[in-house]
């Protein structure tokens, strides 16, 4: 998952509204969002290579989402799969803050990550690759890509602005998926320097990424309801 924008506690009846794109190599085997046979309370897509997921929810309305950190360093092949961070939270019954506390001793076992966990009452951001490791989220609109929370990359700023406009309009689901399908590239002068080549910075700069081997594979809209439960709608692209 490489781009997440979400509103937290701005709509009383719907404390979380989240729109997200998952970017991945097309060769990596994936299962579309569904109820998991081995964990029937979890509704999420699934990485069939490592068994975890990038975004999901459960029948109680708990949610978790993940992005990788992009810093130009090679990923450690011996590291644990980051997708288990989302799956393990949804499999368990710990409160979000308590779950984060359990991760502190093992966070270095994973390549760089951002993790969002919560339910209808509280939400937290946690990273193993940021000056600020943990934050209890206050009401607002947030954006997360492959830097720290609200790092002002062009795609994050563009997505947050469009997302805020859609929220104000009470837009239908289709409008959010249109936003997530935006392939506009940032100008070279606005590109961040994240340790990859200029060609890759250009390729990765849109909200929706297109290339022969790597790109946006699924878009997701998640709502968590104050009355209990949640609704996750996924559009598989490739």
What confidence score (pLDDT) does residue 1 get? 63
**Residue range 167-201, pLDDT digits in tens:** 999 999 999 999 999 999 999 999 999 999 999 99
Say if CB 183 and CB 206 are below 8 A apart.
Answer: yes
**pTM of the entire structure?**
0.96
CATH of the domain at 144: 3.60.60.10
Measured distance CA(190)–CA(211) in Å, rounded: 21
Q: Is the pLDDT of residue 144 over 90?
A: yes
Q: What is the count of structural domains for the chain?
A: 1
Enclosing H/E stretch for 202: helix 198-204
Q: Is the pLDDT of residue 133 over 80?
A: no
Which pLDDT band holds residue 73 (cuts at 50, 70, 90)? confident
Which residue range is the domain that position 43 belongs to?
Answer: 3-236
Which pLDDT band holds residue 160 (cuts at 50, 70, 90)? very high
CA 133 to centroid of chain Cα atoms: 17
Sign of CA dihedral 176, 180, 185, 191: positive
- Measuring CA to CA, which residue among 236, 211, 221 is closest to residue 25? 211
Helical spans, DSSP H, in 42-197:
83-91, 96-103, 154-169, 173-180
For the chain, the straight-line distance linking the first and the last C-alpha, in angstroms and rounded, comes to 14
């Amino acid at each position: 998952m490489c781009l997440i924008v979400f509103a937290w506690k701005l709509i009383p009846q719907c404390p979380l509204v989240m729109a997200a794109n998952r970017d991945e190599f097309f060769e990596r085997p994936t299962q579309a969002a569904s109820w998991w046979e081995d964990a029937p309370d979890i509704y999420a897509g699934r990485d069939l290579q490592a068994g975890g997921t990038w975004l999901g929810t459960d029948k109680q309305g708990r949610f978790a989402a993940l992005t990788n950190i992009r810093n130009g360093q090679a990923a450690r092949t011996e590291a644990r799969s980051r997708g288990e961070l989302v799956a393990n939270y949804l499999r368990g019954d710990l409160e979000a803050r308590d779950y984060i506390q359990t991760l502190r001793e093992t966070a270095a076992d994973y390549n760089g990550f951002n993790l969002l966990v919560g339910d209808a009452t509280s939400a937290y951001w946690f990273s193993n690759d940021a000056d600020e490791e943990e934050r209890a989220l206050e009401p607002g609109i947030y954006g997360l890509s492959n830097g720290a929370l609200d790092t002002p990359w062009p795609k994050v700023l563009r997505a947050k602005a469009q997302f805020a406009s859609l929220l104000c309009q009470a837009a239908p689901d289709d409008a959010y998926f249109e936003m997530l399908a935006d392939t506009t590239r940032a100008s070279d002068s606005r590109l961040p320097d994240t340790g990859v080549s200029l060609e890759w910075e250009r390729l990765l700069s849109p909200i929706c990424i297109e290339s022969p081997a790597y790109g946006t594979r699924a878009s997701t809209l998640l709502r968590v309801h104050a009355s209990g439960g949640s609704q996750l709608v996924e559009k598989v692209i490739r």
